[in-house]
Amino acid sequence: MAQKLRIAVHKFASCDGCQMQFLNLEQDLLTLARQVEIVHFAEATSVMQQGPYDVSFVEGSISTSTDLQRIQQVRAASRMLITIGACATAGGLQALRNWKDHGEFVRAIYARPEYIDSLAQSTPVSAHVKVDAELWGCPIDQQQLKRVLSDVLARITPRIPGESVCMECKRAGNVCVLVTKGEPCLGPVTRTGCGALCPRYERDCYGCFGPQEDGNARALGRRFQALGLSADEIVRRFRFINGWAPAMRAGAQAWEKQKPIIENMD
Amino acid sequence: MNAVAHILNPYLPQRAEVVERVEEGRDIFTLRLRLCDETARAAYRFQPGQFNMLYLIGAGEVAISIVSDPDNPELIDHTIRAVGRVTQGLQQLKAGDALGLRGPFGRGWPLEAARGRGLLLITGGLGCAPTTSMIHYALQRRAQYGPLTVCHGVKHPDDLIYTDRIQTWCGAPDTQVLLTADKGTPEWRGRVGLVTQTLDDVEPELFKGVAMMCGPEPMMRAVAESLLQRGMALNDIYLSLERNMHCAVGHCGHCMFGGKFICKDGPVFSYAEVRTLLAVKGF
Amino acid sequence: MTAQSRLLARADFNALIHALEAQGYRVLGPRERAGAIVFDEITRAEDLPVGRVSAQQPGSYRLEDSGNGRFFDYVHGPESLKRFLFAPEERLWTVSAEGTVSFKETLPEARPVAVIGARACDIAGMQVQDRTFLAGNEKIPPLLKGGHGGIYTDPYYATRRENLFIVAVNCTRSAATCFCASMDTGPRARAGYDLALTELEDDFLVEANSTAGEALLAALPLRNADAGAESAAAEAIEAAAVSQTRRMDTTGIQALLFDNLEHPRWDDVAERCLSCGNCTMVCPTCFCHSETDVTSLDGATSEHRRQWDSCFALDHSYLHGAQIRPQIRQRYRQWLTHKLASWIEQFGTSGCVGCGRCITWCPTGIDLIEEVNAIRATPGAQRAADI
């Protein structure tokens, strides 16, 4: 048996839901514990060892100047870096601020804004350091996480599917909510991995797994318009949990009146 | 009642083991494999240019051409570059390790059509691997084939593999090896330039023979067009194509090239069969 | 067709279901679910979509009340026979690395399944897929011989195929997206079924087309059909054919498409195509699949699985860290040229059976007939430059 892998789970700006998916692996954690040493995992243990790490899982977006420094340290200490979730992979819901005047928010909410260390934009980890693999989702999917873990244990590059939700949806035998009900489903431009969870319950997909590898969000926006959505509603469909992901931004762009305050952070 | 139960399952690998592992170059290695089951091993035969599906436990399968001597089918060599997840995993294997193997698959080099004629083998990069088995085959039957010239191009001299084999080929009767690198180094004794340029140094008589190529598609196109200009017949130019096959038996659709399945109609095609589509970007 | 066709009263339809059950079949039939008709288990006639019709348009499917009590006027839903033969997802084999490495094939359970309500296009689609998955293998019964393209028989497909009993329903209605008449595959089922039903005023005209079908007839409360019933059935089927407004012109289609691989229409359709893969998922003939491994965390065992894949997925053309078809234009072109043209070279038949599902279930309503017609209208047109 090869030496145990040193694994770290780091948290940045996030809700901890993706870290919880680790903890929810339950009995698989015991198997995992025989093969890896978890040396840093804020949500699970008070033990916080320094690097180097064989694999670092990173949750959360880069949102403060401290984050900016820390992500460089994490990268330098990690042989492999894998982002987990929408925040780390696309900037998260908190990237909605990227379209607004961040200073105005801070001034409006905090009595002493000068104490607030917060960047004008919330950005994905990949905007700052090299990322080896990206696990999408809000939160990430446990089956995908397990597959990535078994790849990591086998010391091979994880394979994360990039096809549309529709393919998973059709395989599962779900009926299309867009075609039968005219629901503004984001499934065609969204990445697989969730098990087509919402359409299975006859709900439209809201894109929590981020953009599929090469979809066509502009064309889907035009379809939404034909279904009766207003330009503002179309923008809101695309500008959500993964709104800062380039493909979702492109989907919204044709319909949006308001451009991001600061362009081109990535 | 159940007739299906007797059908050989073309998807099921056989257990194989690594007999030997040879480092060929940076991230390039050769695995010498042997099927573990004696009956399967005795029944295994292959033709130069065919490929096997190698299965790494937990990672998946990958199509790899057979580079060894078809006269010794009990030991099956595969030269592999670690570029994808499966090949990266295969890179970790060492002698004695187990893996899965199914094959051989596909249509190999045109042994019969080429018999009695000169052989011009033109390869680029790791494309030399699929032609190696053909070279062994022809050299074992030297009298049955005309003069043999191998033109092999690499990007950088460090990318050159098989130097021992190449030495041996150079010493074989009526056999010539022309090496070229896109960029030279002070130590490099071969030519400098693209593999197409080496054609200028090929004996004109060989353009009446049969050409066999393997390498990147743009390179093969350029070479094939150059060969046509030098008077070679469309049907005498053969090339080996590559795709990310999953099934290897014409069922999965990943290797489709127009109306051809590269896995079962190829991987070796005559240029006449694929010339038009090779010119279309993104097909 | 049999010499003597019979009539089964609509009121006696349960007898058909029960006769199939009595012979050990799991009986599947059309049922309404989530706004569409899908195949699911049925136990009685009331499970069928009685009095329901589908209004189908490019990108739109709505079920409506017809106001009558007919069983099969819905025409079809997103599913064909494909998923019952070529499973959307399945395990092919397992491997254990504990001790000696061993591989074990995991063939599907050979359970007899009867599908009631297969349409002519579904059966034609199945026969097209037979050519992919069944070789001219002597161990396959003659009925199942595809023969043309295959070298290897897929034992997973073959196992299910051998255990499938098909009750065809000849269409007496067409959806607006149907064009089987122009593809010469329907609306009447011609071969490959066990029983065929044609829905009449109060009865079904029943025809057997296999030994198993004949045997089942013996278990049904039938009466002989007179010439009037037969001609009424023929007229109703013909009326369905005539009512089809879509028509695929396949004249010289191989040359047309392959001579126009740089036609600007491919760019045009790429503006509308989502590259979601829905067309390929609902297509009764699309056979692409990918194989992946699901490995236990301790690495001791692994399941080798396959699932439906699509040429619209970027990774379908993955090779050495890049993709051969990175653009939607290239992927749509791959699909359409294969479906309508290179399929003929591979298998001696078109890959399109005219069911129209790819039109109805495309979220943006792309109509492949319009795409072909657009190229036909301006052959030889060249796109400006590579974008």
Segment-wise mean pLDDT, segments of 10 residues, chain C, 387 residues: 79 97 97 98 98 98 96 98 97 93 92 97 96 66 38 91 97 98 97 97 96 95 94 97 97 97 97 98 98 91 97 94 94 98 93 98 98 96 76
Q: How far apart are CA A180 and CA C34, in angstroms?
A: 8
Tokens of C38: 């899908």
Task: With beta carbons under 8 A apart, name residues in chain C contacting B282.
Answer: 324-327, 329-330, 333
The C-alpha atoms of residue A227 and residue A183 are separated, in whole angstroms, by 8
Q: Which amino acid is at A27?
A: Q
* The predicted structure's pLDDT at residue A266: 45
Q: Average per-residue pLDDT in chain B?
A: 93
For residue B12, give the nearest of C105, C291, C344 by CB distance.
C105
Q: By the CB < 8 Å criterion, does A31 face chain C? A: yes
For chain C, first and last CA: distance in Å? 55
Predicted local confidence at residue C146, as pLDDT? 34
Name residues 200-219 of chain B within 8 A of C (Cβ).
none
Strand order in the sheet with C301-308: C102-105, C89-96, C301-308, C289-295
Of C24, C61, C371, C301, nearest in space to C163 by CA: C24
Mean pLDDT of the region A96-110: 92
**Are A171 and C281 an interchain contact pair (Cβ–Cβ within 8 Å)?**
yes
Cβ–Cβ of A167/C313 closer than 8 Å? yes
Percentage above 90 pLDDT, chain B: 89
Tell me the residues of chain A between 160 and 219 that have a Cβ less than 8 Å away from chain C. Answer: 161-164, 166-167, 170-182, 185, 187-189, 202, 212-216, 218-219
Would you state the torsion angle of the CA atoms of residues C315, C320, C326, C332, taken in this order, to the nearest 10 degrees? Answer: -60
**pLDDT beyond 50 at B1:** no
- Please give the DSSP secondary-structure letter assigned to residue B129: H
- The two structure tokens encoding residue A213: 């590898």
The rounded percent of chain B whose pLDDT value lies above 70 is: 98
Q: Does residue B192 have a pLDDT over 90?
A: yes
CB < 8 Å to B11, chain C: 92-93, 105, 154-155, 304
Task: Verify whether the Cβ–Cβ distance C308 to A212 is below 8 Å.
Answer: no
Half-sphere exposure of C79 (CA within 13 A, CB side): 29
Question: How confident is the model at residue A7, as a pLDDT?
Answer: 94
Secondary-structure class of domain A5-153 per CATH: alpha beta
pLDDT of residue C136: 61
The answer to whether the CB atoms of B254 and C309 lie below 8 A apart is yes
Alpha helices in A211-265 (DSSP H): 217-226, 231-238, 246-253
Answer yes or no: are the C-beta atoms of A213 and A191 closer than 8 Å: yes
Query: Alpha-carbon distance B194 to C155, whole Å?
Result: 47
Reduced DSSP (H G I as helix, E B as strand, rest coil) percent helix, strand, coil of chain B, to 5: 30, 30, 40
Assess contact for C374 and C266: CB atoms under 8 A. no
Residue for token pair 């795409």: C371
Which pTM does this prediction carry? 0.95
Q: Least CA distance to C34: which residue of chain A?
A: A175
Q: How far apart are CA C155 and CA C92, in angstroms?
A: 10
| Closest to C159 in 3D by CA, of C110, C223, C193, C198 | C110
pLDDT at B146: 94
- The rounded distance, in Å, linking the Cα atoms of B193 and B182 is 5
How far does A35 lie from chain C, in Å, by closest CA?
A: 8
Look at A214 and C314 and tell me if their CB atoms are within 8 Å: yes
Q: Which of C103, C110, C293 comes nearest B12 by C-beta?
A: C103
A261 pLDDT band, cuts 50/70/90, is low
Confidence at residue A256, expressed as pLDDT on a 0 to 100 scale: 86
Strand (E) or helix (H) holding A105: helix A102-109
* Distance separating alpha carbons of residues A53 and A56, to the nearest angstrom: 6
B chain contacts of residue C137, beta-carbon cutoff 8 Å? 7
Would an 8 Å CB–CB cutoff place B18 in contact with chain C? no
* DSSP 3-state of B251: coil
In angstroms, the CA C204 to CA C220 distance is: 12
Sign of CA dihedral C67, C73, C75, C79: positive
User: Rounded to the nearest 5 degrees, what angle is found at the Cα of C331, between the Cα atoms of C330 and C333?
Assistant: 65
Helix, strand or coil for residue A203?
A: coil
> CA–CA separation, B61 vs B165, rounded Å?
28
Burial B103-121 (b: 16+ CB within 10 A, else e): bbbbbbbbbeebeebbbbb
Residue B152 has pLDDT above 90, yes or no: yes
Q: For residue A53, is pLDDT > 70? A: yes
Structural tokens at position B61: 């399968």
Does residue A2 belong to the interface with chain C, where contact is any CB pair within 8 Å? Answer: no
Q: Which residues of B touch A151 (CB under 8 A)?
A: 58-59, 85
Q: How many CB atoms lie within 10 A of CB B247?
A: 27
Q: Which residues of C touch B281 (CB under 8 A)?
A: 330, 386
Q: Which of chain B's residues have a Cβ under 8 Å away from the Cβ of A150?
A: 58
pLDDT on residue A165: 98
Residue C294 host element (H or E): strand C289-295
Pairing of strands C89-96, C102-105: antiparallel
Distance from CA of C312 to the nearest CA of B (A): 11
- pLDDT given at position C140: 36
- B187-B193-B197 Cα angle (round to 5): 135
- B89 chain-A contacts, CB cut-off 8 A: 154-156
User: What is the distance between the terminal CA atoms of chain A, rounded to a whole angstrom?
Assistant: 41
Distance, in angstroms, between B238 CA and closest chain A CA? 34
Query: Locate tokens 């948290």: which residue?
Result: A11
Inter-chain residue contact A154 with B88, CB threshold 8 Å: no
Cβ of C62 under 8 Å from any chain A Cβ?
Answer: yes
Close Cβ partners of B102 (under 8 Å, ≥ 6 residues apart): B10, B11, B12, B13, B14, B52, B53, B55, B248
Dist. CA C198–CA C194, nearest whole Å:
14
pLDDT digits (tens, 9 = 90+) for B209-268: 999 999 999 999 999 999 999 999 999 999 999 999 999 999 999 999 999 999 999 999
Subunits that touch chain C (at least 3 Cβ pairs < 8 angstroms)? Answer: A, B
8 Å CB contact between B135 and B77: no
Pairing of strands B268-270, C6-9: unpaired
- CA A35, distance to chain mean position in Å, is 27
Q: Give mean pLDDT, residues B44-60.
A: 94
B147 to each of A58, B143, B173, C201, how far by Cα in Å?
Answer: 60, 10, 8, 80
CB contact under 8 A, A159 and B89: no
Is the per-residue pLDDT at B6 higher than 60? no
Residues of C in contact with A175 (CB under 8 A): 33-36, 38, 77-78
Please count the CA atoms within 13 angstroms of the CA of B167 that sit on its side-chain side: 4
Residue of chain A with shortest Cα separation from B88: A156
Contact A155 B92 (CB under 8 A): yes
**Neighboring chain B residues of C150 at a CB cutoff of 8 Å:** 250
CA distance B248 to B49: 14
Which C positions 102-131 lie with beta carbon below 8 A of chain B? 102-103, 105, 107, 110
Six-digit token pair at A150? 């078994």
pLDDT of residue A238: 97
**B77 at C interface, C-beta within 8 A:** no
Q: Which residue of A has its CA nearest to B56?
A: A154
Give the confidence band of B169 by pLDDT, cuts at 50, 70, 90: very high
Q: Is B3's pLDDT higher than 80? A: no
pLDDT at C3: 55
* Alpha carbons C40 and C31: distance in angstroms, whole number: 6
Q: How does pLDDT run across B94-147, given as a tens digit for each residue?
A: 999 999 999 999 999 999 999 999 999 999 988 889 999 999 999 999 999 999
Partners of residue A155 in chain B, C-beta under 8 Å = 88-89, 92
pLDDT digits (tens, 9 = 90+) for C61-81: 999 999 999 999 999 999 999
* Separation CA C225–CA C223 (nearest Å): 6
CB < 8 Å from C in window 81-140 of A: none
Q: Where are the domains of chain A?
A: 5-153, 165-265
CB contacts of B84 in chain C (<8 Å) are: 320-321
Q: What pLDDT score does C141 carry?
A: 38
**Cis, peptide link before residue A246, omega less than 30° from 0:** no
Rounded distance, CA B257 to CA B243, Å? Answer: 9
> Sorting pLDDT into bands at 50, 70 and 90, what band is A222?
very high
Burial class (CB in 10 A: 0-12, 13-18, 19+), A26: exposed
Q: Which residues of A touch B59 (CB under 8 A)?
A: 151, 154, 156
User: Which run of H or of E encompasses C96?
Assistant: strand C89-96
Subunits in contact with chain A (3 or more CB pairs closer than 8 Å): B, C
Lowest-confidence segment of A160-169, A255-264, B163-172, C283-292 by average pLDDT: A255-264
**C283: alpha, beta or left, given left = phi > 0 and alpha = psi -120 to 50?**
beta
Cα separation of C27 and C98, whole Å? 41
Residue C35, burial from CB neighbour count under 10 angstroms (0-12, 13-18, 19+): middle
The shortest C-alpha distance from A182 to chain B (Å) reads: 32
